[in-house]
Structure 1
Amino acid sequence: MISLLAAALLTAQPACAPVRGSEALWNEDLRFIAVGEMHGTAEAPAAFADLVCLALEKGPVTAVLEYPAPMQATFDAFMAEPDADAARVLLLAYPHGPFRYHDGRGSEAMLAMFQRFRALHQAGADLKLLASVPDSPRVEGFTQSHDELDRAQLWSAAARAAPERRMMIFVGSVHAGKARRVGSRIGLPAAAHFRPEEVLSLYVAADGGEAWNCRDECGPNPVTPLGLGDRRGVVIAPEADGTFDGYLAVGPATASPPVSRQD
């Protein structure tokens, strides 16, 4: 039986939206659940927030996010701030993060995801955020930076420091794969540095639509449909090359623009 306090906290937390197929994620042997997205859609951050909410029903969670590691103090202050407007100001005030220099990670949808995480934490959920993009400069004589290895080290250090916590990872798809793609210049993706049995990696699959990102120009750009139709939810279907274990299907994608700023 859960304690009266735990029952009260669960009652106080906002209700989780169901995600079809998500029961496949809660295997006790899975320490890392990695969701690889294309930045700049409204649907991907919302779907990831739904999964985090469901994971919190199973136990404590660390949400690993693709933001500069020096933002950690800002993350901590944001989560602790009881006022939503003040929390927003704290997050957007960080001078060098994606909310200043937009690549899709500074979108309205991402901000909404952060605010949802803060609300869950304020309601009593055992949720922490981890800023997980290290400073990995390229060293002369090396053909690549060791950014992926350094990312994996950050994830690993957090997991080892709190082994009771489920690690829910939300990053660009290139970092969430479990195998090196042919022709990739980054070496092994961050998620591939762990035993494959401990990681379940999902590719965010949209049924066409648009994402706000920077290609030839910054703005809404078309998203290639992957043939899953408008179904939504977790689909376990390993790719032939073993890069992902399945998909987080979100239906048609909607471009989410950068956060409007007053400064």
Structure 2
Amino acid sequence: MISLLAAASLLTAQPACAPVSGSDALWGEELRFIAVGELHGTAEAPAAFADLVCLALKKGPVTAVLEYPVQMQATFDAFMAEPDADAARALLLDYPHGPFRYHDGRGSEAMLAMLQRFRALHQAGGDLKLLASVPASPRVEGFTQSHAELDRAQLWSAAARAAPERRMMIFVGSVHAGKARRFGSSLGLPAAAHFRPEEVLSLYVATNGGEAWNCREECGPYALTPLDLGDRRGVVIAPEADGAFDGYLAVGPATASPPVARP
């Protein structure tokens, strides 16, 4: 489905990518969407996703779909185009209502580093675009989160149809990246479940414990429950019993990534 001709347009000046074990499973011709579901606030998940995006760029054009409000799209476009690294960073941090002012894990040092890496890949000639993908649709009384998930899926679909040659690499919270409703969940269908299963490969970010920085009763590092994958790292294709994910992006022990320090 992804045109082979697109790969021929890549420039050889792109930075080298770190290898990711098992990542060859992601580049099938039928796969249009690669969805990676994380728990916000670790250092490892954004770094691993950036590695996958780097590898995807070797195959053809990529759109990195990120869990930021659609109102940030113009800022993302300007950030990617800005030739000066310090000025580009300031564009993100100065956005008045963005996640780098109100921390929920999406405004972490690791997320900023991921975005800066994406800009560097683009500046080096990679055909990479960012898509802010949290819709601005209002919440209506009596309508559940399942309708918000449908809005996300519609936004992803519209972007894919507008540029069918682009591979969609999606990085969102795990509740949005599943391909089936989890048993007992009040969420309804996750966003990724609204597409034909053959078009989507969904990965759950798996850690061997460690910590993530997020906000519960208070904001700070919280312990994570380990998922026993042994010493495996990278992409592990192993469908969960409930069918929500095709496998894991195994990152080992997690390190909490705090909010970006502001001057």
d(CA) in 2 for partners of 1:78, 1:96: 16
Taking structure 1 as reference, are residues 143 and 48 closer, same or farther at Cα in structure 2, changes over 3 Å only?
closer
Alignment RMSD (CA, Å)? 2.8
CA displacement at 1:231 relative to structure 2: 2.1
For 2:145, what is the secondary structure of its paired residue? coil
Taking structure 1 as reference, are residues 2 and 168 closer, same or farther at Cα in structure 2, changes over 3 Å only?
closer
d(CA) in 1 for partners of 2:260, 2:165: 34
d(CA) in 1 for partners of 2:57, 2:94: 28
Give TM-score scaled by structure 2 length.
0.94
- 1:5 counterpart residue number: 5
Taking structure 1 as reference, are residues 101 and 14 closer, same or farther at Cα in structure 2, changes over 3 Å only?
same
- Does the Cα contact within 8 Å between 1:207 and 1:225 map onto a contact in 2? yes
After superposition, what is the alpha-carbon deviation per residue over 1:101-157, rounded to whole angstroms, capped at 9, x for unaligned? Answer: 100000000000000000000000000000000123221333446210000010000
After superposition, what is the alpha-carbon deviation per residue over 1:9-52, rounded to whole angstroms, capped at 9, x for unaligned? Answer: 64321110000000000001000000000000000000000000
| Shift >4 Å, 4+ stretches | 1-9
Kindly indicate whether residue 227 of structure 2 is the aligned counterpart of residue 221 of structure 1: no
**Unaligned ranges ≥5, structure 2:** none
Taking structure 1 as reference, are residues 27 and 216 closer, same or farther at Cα in structure 2, changes over 3 Å only?
same
CA displacement at 1:186 relative to structure 2: 2.1
d(CA) in 1 for partners of 2:118, 2:155: 21
- Does the Cα contact within 8 Å between 2:209 and 2:226 map onto a contact in 1? yes
- Does the Cα contact within 8 Å between 1:62 and 1:166 map onto a contact in 2? yes
Taking structure 1 as reference, are residues 85 and 4 closer, same or farther at Cα in structure 2, changes over 3 Å only?
farther
For 1:58, what is the secondary structure of its paired residue? coil
Taking structure 1 as reference, are residues 3 and 99 closer, same or farther at Cα in structure 2, changes over 3 Å only?
closer
- Does the Cα contact within 8 Å between 2:203 and 2:248 map onto a contact in 1? yes
CA displacement at 1:5 relative to structure 2: 14
Aligned residue-pair number: 261
- Does the Cα contact within 8 Å between 1:61 and 1:126 map onto a contact in 2? yes
For 1:12, what is the secondary structure of its paired residue? coil
- Does the Cα contact within 8 Å between 1:49 and 1:117 map onto a contact in 2? yes
Give TM-score scaled by structure 1 length.
0.94
d(CA) in 2 for partners of 1:184, 1:135: 24
- Does the Cα contact within 8 Å between 1:138 and 1:145 map onto a contact in 2? no
Taking structure 1 as reference, are residues 141 and 220 closer, same or farther at Cα in structure 2, changes over 3 Å only?
closer
d(CA) in 2 for partners of 1:133, 1:63: 13
After superposition, what is the alpha-carbon deviation per residue over 1:187-231, rounded to whole angstroms, capped at 9, x for unaligned? Answer: 110000000010000000000000001122110000111001332
Taking structure 1 as reference, are residues 6 and 257 closer, same or farther at Cα in structure 2, changes over 3 Å only?
same
- Does the Cα contact within 8 Å between 1:136 and 1:145 map onto a contact in 2? no
- Does the Cα contact within 8 Å between 1:34 and 1:176 map onto a contact in 2? yes
d(CA) in 1 for partners of 2:142, 2:43: 41
Identity %: 90
- Does the Cα contact within 8 Å between 1:136 and 1:146 map onto a contact in 2? no
d(CA) in 2 for partners of 1:2, 1:38: 29
d(CA) in 2 for partners of 1:28, 1:4: 9
CA displacement at 1:240 relative to structure 2: 1.0
After superposition, what is the alpha-carbon deviation per residue over 1:59-94, rounded to whole angstroms, capped at 9, x for unaligned? Answer: 000000000001000000000001111000001111
Taking structure 1 as reference, are residues 123 and 180 closer, same or farther at Cα in structure 2, changes over 3 Å only?
same
- Does the Cα contact within 8 Å between 1:235 and 1:248 map onto a contact in 2? yes
Taking structure 1 as reference, are residues 5 and 15 closer, same or farther at Cα in structure 2, changes over 3 Å only?
farther
d(CA) in 1 for partners of 2:2, 2:238: 35
- Does the Cα contact within 8 Å between 2:213 and 2:220 map onto a contact in 1? yes
- 1:202 counterpart residue number: 203
CA displacement at 1:185 relative to structure 2: 2.2
CA displacement at 1:183 relative to structure 2: 2.5
d(CA) in 1 for partners of 2:27, 2:94: 36
